[in-house]
Structure formats: structure tokens, C-alpha cells
């Protein structure tokens, strides 16, 4: 496979983003159809190339792409390149296929939005950044992609930025993930500092020509406590991105973004980037036992912790958000036990069925105008397609055979089961409890949404549906209807994948595991006992949900009394938001630290006078700003920057530099 073709995987969506942002939106207006055509076309190209890359890796196993030196200072040489191995190929296919389907679906979902082209600009930009992250053969380039997906996530969560809740959610997501990234950055710095002095540090992940690269030699080169700390830093970054405890609080709020965004970024791809990162650096984790144990425990704890909150949410997207956090926990659990294959297999399956569930919830919202399940009900009659695919997605998530979720969850349960010891036992119990809760919350959601009687949709907004988003007309609320084909077809394709994506790792062939073999994955045989326990837990969960929300054998209100303290704890999300915002931000930072600092500034007079003077200045300034704000200033800066970019580009294009 020529190198240019691999670069084109990244470049095509990037070109679409630039094209949309700089040409289509200014010249053809913010709702032009061309934005959709360009994005889907570009991601289609990436998807085709990704399939090609997968087939090449499948047959060849070894694809060595060159590294290009872009900066050299004395010994230090920064060489940028792409890495194509089994892990990358899998991620490429997941990202491009889900992205492609979501883009198509979005056309139906976002058609009435006034910022249609802006939406596609960001989505294309995100896809390009995510592919950069996945393909990078250099930690620095990887970090660039890592931060760019964070930026795109911020922009898309806050897509409807006129809503205060969306703006706040975007800010929260940005700050919390950035908190994790801080430790990731420290880990990168740690690698730089602790790297053996006799070999230059290149940050290349895999470089056959270098004496030492990160993945082959990193574990041996960096040893002891330093390596553990580096691994923990990487895990902290991953935990922020993948919303693992205790950095999970941003993901449920991130549901303020458009639903296709939630499906693509906050279910299938970006949040899986943390799993990808740890999987990528598994050779380092191999040498750091403590760090691996911590990864496993965080994952295992998050599985149950997040699933329990999913049990009580009334907002369908929040249920799915907690579900995502919980499922990502499974993947970390597996990685912590060194099981690359099962973790990636679950990532692969989860991407499809979770994207499906999210798109299903978007379809429901399209019909009813709300995400509040208390206002839904009975939709299976008016939305048979959506009901069908949602049902398939739920079965897959609940781990019912033969749907794909069963196979990968079974592998993870099997790993924990055979790992043994205290750690293995704890993790197995957590995983089984998680499986039970997963089945319970998703079927509760299914029943509340699609069964029973229709409870009025957005018309009853008095109940306080803060999550009904404004771009959908209220007229949808009155009479729910099936979504248009442009939305149903992507869901149907995902439904097929949710049933059958496990065929790639069919027990007899193990194609998927073969792909990852060079990275140290080995075939996991099916173990009857843990699989059976997991299945029973899942069926039990479905049973309880049926009893409470469908069959009427036990009515939900009748048990809510005795369980009130528990449900209260769960609906308040274990008071984590209160802990972060109330205790840490308000009490510690604001009331203690800032007051403490203000104490040094006891002379109020000085401050007041300064403020007054500034006020006078400000009044004059205001006259100026009013004029500045008409865009001339931005225009000046735009011209200045474009000028500089054109000059550099001219050198690269005609001067043959670079």
C-alpha cells in the first residue's frame, strides 16, 4: 500500500473540513447541501482506503511506512510518520465506517439546522483528527490528534452554544478531559527525561531504523517507578478521554450535543481513544504491574459505578451515556489484565451497537421532540423500524447470544475468570454485576420508550424536559412518526453489524485475534462457566426490567419507597458533581483559597479606586470596541494569518521545502 494512500485517509476529511469551512460556508451559505456531499465523499474515500489498509495488514501483517524528519536540533530529531498495524487497521475501519453512517444519518437529523455546514465542518475535522490519532507513529503527532479530537468534541458538544446548558457542558468536558491530558503530557515529558542517555529520544512508536523505539524497547528502557508513573500518566489521559472514574462526570453532560455527535464521538470513537491509547502502549504496561492493576481496578469499578447510575436516569441519552462509560470500563478491565484481543474486540462490537442505540434515541427524539422517557411510551407501533433496531442494539448490549455484545463480553468475563486470585475474583464479580445492571437499564429504557402508552412527548414540557433541544420543531411532538429513510438506513446497517460484527472473530477462525497477534494478543477459548454466569446475569436483568416496567408483576412505585435512599443516591450521581463543583471549586478554591488570597489585599480603597478608574477607561474603550466588533479587526487578523500561511505554503509547493 503506497504511503500517500495512507496519508490520504487523514487528508481527505481534513480537506473536506477546510473546504466546508473556508469555501462552502462563506460562499454558499450556512445550509448548503454541498457541505454534506463533501464530507460524505471524503469520509467515503477514507473508508475505502481503510478497508484496503485492513486487507493489506491482514495478508501482509508487516507494513513499514517511512518516518519524515521535520525538526532536527542537535541530537534530537522529530520524525513524523504513520503506523499501520492490526490495531490501527481495526480502529481505522471502526472510525471511518461509523463516521460514514453517522454523517449520512445526520443529513436527516440536522437538515433544519441553521448551522448545517458548520456541523459538517466540525464532523469532518473530528474524523480527520481521530484518524491522525490512530495512525500516528510518533507520540507527539498522536498527542496532536489527541488534543484535536478534544477540541472538536468541545466544539460539537457546544454546537448549540446559545443554550447555556450546552455551553456549560462543553466547558465541563473540555476542562475535565484537559485535567487528564495534563498527566498524559507529564508522561510524555517523563519519557523524554527518563529515556536512556546514550540513545536519542525520538518519540517514534515503532521505528525499525532506530536503535530504540517506544513500543519495542520502551518497556526495557524505562524501568521501575518511573515507568509506573509514566503508565499512570498515560492512564490518566485515557481516563479523561474515556470518562473513567473519577473523571467520568463530563460524558453524561456531553449529551447536550446533537445526537449524531453523541453517537460518533461520545460512544463509538473518541471515548474509545483512551482504550486505544492504553492498548497502544500495552508493551509499556506489560512491564509495570502496579499500573496495570490500577487500570484493571478503575475499569472494573467504573463498570458497576456507571451502570448503577444508568438504572435510574430518565433521559434516554443519559442512560446510554452511562452505559458507554460502563462498557468502556470493561475494556479497561481487560487491558489491565493484559488482554489486548478481548478489549479491542469489545471496542469493535461496542462501537457499532452503541452508535446504533444512540442513533435510535436520536430517531425517537426526531419523532417526539424530547429525550425524556417519561414522556414517551408506545412508540413501537408508530416507529417499527426504530423499535426493531433499538431492540437489536439492546440485546447486543445486554450480552444475549448470538448478538455481538455477547461474544466480546464473554471473552472479558473469561479473562477475569481464568486470571484467578483476589484481583481476578473481584474483577469477575464486578463484571457480572455490571452485566446484570446493563441488561436491566437498557431494557428499562426500551420498555419506557417503546412499550405501554404514548405519554405525550414534548407537549408536556411542564414536567421539565431540559433536554428537549430547540432545533426540532414542536410540531414533531404531537404526532410521532417514523424517521426518514436517510436516518433509518444507517441504523439498519448498524443493526446488521450489531448482530454480526462478531463474525470477524468467529470462534473457529479468529481473524480478529490474528490481526492483533503481532501485538501480543492470543486466542481466547470460550469458557462455558463464566459465559453461562454472564448470560444468566443478563437474563436476570432483563427479567427484572420486564417485571417492573412491562409485565406489571411488580409496580415500580411500590418498590421505590423502601429503595428511596438508594435511588436518591443514584439520581444524584453519587454526588460527584456536587463534590467537584460544590466542594472543590466553591468551598476549597473559591471560599478558602481565593479568600485567603484576598486577605492580602485588605486595602479595599485601592481596589475600588482602581476599578473606578478602569470603569472610566472602559467607558471610553466601549466606544471603540463597538466599532471594532463589526468585524474589521477579525478581518485584519484573517488577512494577516492567511498571508503568512500562503507564504509558507508557497515555499512548500514551489520551493520544494519540507
Partner 1 sequence: MPTPIDAASLGIDFGHLAPEIILTLAAITVVLVDLVARDKRVLAWLSALGVAMAGGAAVWLWTSDASGTSYSGIVITDLFGTMFKLIVLGGTLLAILFSPAYVERRLSRFHGEYYGLLLLATVGMMLLVSMGELISIVLALEIQTFALVALIALLKDAKSTESALKFLLLSAVATAVMLYGMAILFGLTGTTFIADMPGVVAERVAEGGLANNLALILAAVLLIVGFGFKISSVPFQMWVPPVYEGAPTPIVGYFSVVSKAAGFAVLMRVFIVVLEQAGLDLLDWPLLIGVLAIASMTIGNVVAIIQTNIKRLLAYSTIAQAGYILIGVAVMGNGGANVYELATSGVIFYLAAYTFSNLAAFGALIALSRPNSNDSIEELTGGYSRSPLAAIVLTVALISLVGLPPTGLFVGKIYLFYGAVQGDLWWLALAGALNSFVSAYYYLRPVRRLWQSGGPADVASDTARSFSLRASMVVSLIGVIILGIVPFWLISRATEASASFTP
Q: Which of 22, 71, 526, 564 lies at the binding interface for partner 1 (CB under 8 A)?
A: 71
d(CA 120, CA 358): 18
- Is residue 472 a contact partner of residue 112, using CB atoms and an 8 Å limit? yes
Containing 397, the helix (H) or strand (E) segment is helix 384-398
Q: Are 477 and 458 in contact (CB under 8 A)?
A: yes
Q: Is 640 in the site for partner 1 (CB under 8 A)?
A: yes
Interface region with partner 1, contact rule CB under 8 A, candidates 22-30, 372-380, 537-545, 618-626: 618-626
Question: What would the DSSP string read from start to end of 66-104?
Answer: -EEEEEEETTEEEEEEB-BSHHHHHHHHHHHHHHHHHHH
- For residue 630, the minimal CB distance to partner 1 (Å) is 10
526 belongs to the binding site for partner 1 (CB under 8 A): no
In whole angstroms, give the CA distance from residue 230 to residue 284.
9
Measured CA to CA, the distance from residue 75 to residue 282 in angstroms comes to 28
**Residues in contact with partner 1, total (CB under 8 A)?**
32
Considering the complex, state which of residue 615 and residue 643 has its C-beta at the smaller distance from partner 1: 643
Minimum CB distance to partner 1, residue 634 (Å):
10
Cβ proximity to partner 1, 72 vs 592, nearer residue = 72
Q: Is 72 in the site for partner 1 (CB under 8 A)?
A: yes
Least distance from partner 1 to the Cβ atom of residue 209, Å: 17
For every residue of 603-631, DSSP letters joined together read: -HHHHHHHHHHHHHHHHHHHHHHHHHTTT
CB of 75 to partner 1, least distance (A): 11
What single-letter DSSP state applies at residue 204? B
Nearer to partner 1, 557 or 658 (CB): 658
Stretch that binds partner 1, among 163-171, 335-343, 401-409, 642-650 (CB under 8 A): 642-650
Answer yes or no whether residue 621 interacts with partner 1 by CB under 8 A.
Answer: yes
| HSE toward the beta carbon, residue 25, CA cutoff 13 A | 17
Q: Which stretch binds partner 1 (CB under 8 A): 29-37, 254-262, 433-441, 617-625?
A: 617-625
Shortest distance, position 649 Cβ to partner 1, whole Å? 10
Q: Does 620 bind partner 1 (CB under 8 A)?
A: yes
561/643 with CB nearer partner 1: 643
Cβ neighbours of residue 613 closer than 8 Å, sequence gap 6 or more = none
- State in angstroms the smallest separation of the CB of 11 from partner 1: 17
Q: State the alpha helices, DSSP H only, in 61-194.
A: 86-110, 116-135, 139-157, 164-194
Among 536, 585, 637, 653, contact with partner 1 (rule: CB under 8 A)? 637
DSSP label at 257?
S
Which range in 67-75, 101-109, 288-296, 476-484 contacts partner 1 by CB under 8 A? 67-75
Among the listed residues 175, 189, 588, 633, the single contact to partner 1 using CB under 8 A: 633
- Complex with partner 1: residue 585 or 640, whichever CB lies closer: 640
Q: Is the peptide bond before 402 cis (omega within 30 degrees of 0)?
A: yes
Q: Is 616 in the site for partner 1 (CB under 8 A)?
A: no
Nearest distance from residue 80's CB to partner 1, in Å? 11
Specify whether the CB–CB gap between 214 and 136 falls below 8 A. Answer: no
**Interatomic CA distance for residues 40 and 99, integer angstroms:** 9
Nearer to partner 1 by C-beta: 193 or 635? 635
Distance of alpha carbon 511 from alpha carbon 55, whole angstroms = 11
- Quick check: 6 and 57 in contact, CB under 8 A? no
- 644 touching partner 1, by CB under 8 A: yes
- Rounded Cα gap, residues 653 and 647, in angstroms: 10
Distance, CA of 209 to CA of 77 (rounded, Å): 13
Nearest approach, Cβ of 202 to partner 1 (angstroms)? Answer: 16
610 binds partner 1 (CB under 8 A): no
Pick 164 or 656: Cβ nearer partner 1:
656
- Cβ proximity of 356 and 494 under 8 Å: yes
Q: How many residues does the chain have?
A: 658
Spatial distance between the Cα atoms of 147 and 141, rounded to a whole number of angstroms: 10
Q: Rounded to the nearest 5°, which phi and psi values hold at 656? A: 65, 30
When asked if residue 585 is in the footprint of partner 1 (CB under 8 A), the reply is: no
Q: Is 653 in the site for partner 1 (CB under 8 A)?
A: no
- For partner 1, which is the closer residue by CB, 2 or 656? 656
> How far is residue 348's CA from residue 356's CA, in Å, rounded to a whole number?
13
Nearer to partner 1, 201 or 367 (CB): 201
Asked if 635 touches partner 1 (CB under 8 A), the answer is yes
In the bound state with partner 1, the residue whose beta carbon lies nearer, of 421 and 656, is 656
262 close to 317: Cβ distance less than 8 angstroms: yes
Q: Taking CB under 8 A as the rule, does residue 70 contact partner 1? A: yes
Residue 70: phi, psi to the nearest 5?
-115, -25
Residue 389 beta carbon to partner 1: minimum distance, rounded to whole angstroms: 49
Residue number, 604 or 619, with CB nearest to partner 1 = 619
**189: contact with partner 1 by CB under 8 A:** no
Contacting positions for partner 1 (CB under 8 A): 70-74, 620-621, 623-628, 632-633, 635-637, 639-640, 642-644, 646-648, 651-652, 655-658
Amino acid at each position: 500500500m503506497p504511503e500517500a494512500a495512507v496519508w490520504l485517509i487523514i487528508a481527505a476529511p481534513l480537506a473536506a473540513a477546510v473546504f466546508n469551512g473556508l469555501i462552502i460556508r462563506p460562499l454558499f451559505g450556512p445550509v448548503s447541501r454541498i457541505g454534506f456531499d463533501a464530507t460524505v465523499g471524503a469520509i467515503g474515500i477514507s473508508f475505502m482506503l481503510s478497508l484496503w489498509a485492513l486487507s493489506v495488514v491482514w495478508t501482509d501483517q508487516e507494513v513499514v511506512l517511512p518516518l519524515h524528519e521535520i525538526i532536527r536540533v542537535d541530537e534530537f530529531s522529530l520524525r513524523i510518520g504513520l503506523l499501520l498495524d492490526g490495531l490501527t487497521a481495526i480502529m481505522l475501519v471502526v472510525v471511518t465506517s461509523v463516521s460514514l453512517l453517522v454523517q449520512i444519518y445526520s443529513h436527516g437529523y440536522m437538515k433544519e439546522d441553521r448551522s448545517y455546514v458548520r456541523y459538517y465542518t466540525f464532523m469532518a475535522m473530528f474524523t480527520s483528527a481521530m484518524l491522525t490519532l490512530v495512525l500516528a507513529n510518533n507520540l507527539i503527532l498522536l498527542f496532536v490528534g489527541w488534543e484535536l479530537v478534544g477540541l472538536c468534541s468541545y466544539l460539537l458538544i457546544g454546537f448549540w452554544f446559545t443554550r447555556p446548558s450546552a455551553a456549560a457542558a462543553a466547558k465541563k468536558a473540555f476542562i475535565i478531559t484537559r485535567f487528564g491530558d495534563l498527566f498524559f503530557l507529564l508522561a510524555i515529558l517523563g519519557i523524554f527525561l527518563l529515556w536512556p542517555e546514550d540513545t536519542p529520544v525520538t518519540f517514534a512508536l515503532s521505528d525499525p531504523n532506530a536503535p530504540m523505539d517506544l513500543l519495542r524497547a520502551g518497556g526495557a528502557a524505562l524501568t521501575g517507578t518511573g515507568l509506573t508513573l509514566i503508565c499512570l500518566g498515560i492512564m490518566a489521559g485515557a481516563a479523561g478521554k474515556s470518562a473513567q472514574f473519577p473523571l467520568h462526570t463530563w460524558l453524561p453532560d456531553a449529551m447536550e450535543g446533537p445526537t449524531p455527535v453523541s453517537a460518533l464521538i461520545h460512544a463509538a470513537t473518541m471515548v474509545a481513544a483512551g482504550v486505544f491509547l492504553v492498548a497502544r502502549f500495552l508493551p509499556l504496561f506489560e512491564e509495570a504491574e502496579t499500573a496495570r492493576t490500577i487500570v484493571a481496578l478503575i475499569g472494573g469499578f467504573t463498570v458497576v459505578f456507571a451502570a448503577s447510575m444508568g438504572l435510574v436516569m430518565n433521559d434516554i441519552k443519559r442512560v446510554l451515556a452511562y452505559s458507554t462509560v460502563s462498557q468502556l470500563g470493561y475494556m479497561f478491565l481487560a487491558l489491565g489484565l493484559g488482554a489486548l484481543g478481548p478489549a479491542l474486540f469489545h471496542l469493535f462490537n461496542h462501537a457499532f451497537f452503541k452508535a446504533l442505540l444512540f442513533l435510535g434515541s436520536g430517531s425517537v427524539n426526531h419523532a417526539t421532540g424530547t429525550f425524556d422517557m417519561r414522556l414517551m411510551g408506545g412508540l413501537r407501533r408508530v416507529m417499527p423500524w426504530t423499535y426493531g433496531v433499538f431492540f437489536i442494539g439492546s440485546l447486543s448490549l445486554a450480552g444475549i447470544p448470538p448478538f455481538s455484545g455477547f461474544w466480546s463480553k464473554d471473552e472479558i468475563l473469561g479473562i477475569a475468570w481464568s486470571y484467578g486470585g483476589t484481583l481476578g475474583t473481584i474483577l469477575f464479580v464486578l463484571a457480572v454485576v455490571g452485566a446484570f445492571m446493563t441488561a436491566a437499564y437498557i431494557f428499562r429504557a426500551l420498555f419506557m420508550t417503546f412499550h405501554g402508552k404514548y405519554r405525550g412527548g414534548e407537549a408536556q414540557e411542564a414536567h421539565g424536559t431540559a433536554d428537549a433541544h430547540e432545533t426540532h420543531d414542536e410540531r414533531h411532538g404531537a404526532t410521532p412518526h417514523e424517521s426518514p429513510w436517510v436516518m433509518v438506513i444507517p441504523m439498519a446497517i448498524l443493526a446488521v453489524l450489531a448482530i454480526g460484527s462478531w463474525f470477524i472473530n468467529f470462534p473457529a477462525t479468529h481473524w480478529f485475534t490474528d490481526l492483533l497477534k503481532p501485538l501480543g494478543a492470543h486466542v481466547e477459548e470460550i469458557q462455558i462457566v463464566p459465559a453461562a454466569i454472564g448470560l444468566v446475569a443478563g437474563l436476570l436483568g432483563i427479567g427484572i426490567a420486564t417485571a417492573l416496567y412491562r409485565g406489571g408483576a411488580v409496580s415500580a412505585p411500590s418498590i421505590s419507597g423502601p429503595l428511596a435512599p438508594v435511588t436518591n443516591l443514584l439520581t444524584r450521581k453519587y454526588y460527584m458533581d456536587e463534590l467537584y463543583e460544590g466542594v472543590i471549586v466553591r468551598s476549597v478554591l473559591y471560599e478558602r483559597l481565593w479568600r485567603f488570597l484576598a486577605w492580602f489585599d485588605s486595602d479595599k480603597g485601592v481596589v475600588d479606586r482602581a476599578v473606578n478608574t478602569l470603569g472610566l477607561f472602559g467607558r471610553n474603550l466601549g466606544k471603540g470596541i463597538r466599532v471594532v466588533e463589526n468585524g474589521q479587526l477579525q478581518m485584519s487578523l484573517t488577512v494577516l494569518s492567511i498571508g503568512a500561511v500562503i507564504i509558507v505554503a508557497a515555499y512548500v509547493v514551489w520551493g520544494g521545502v519540507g
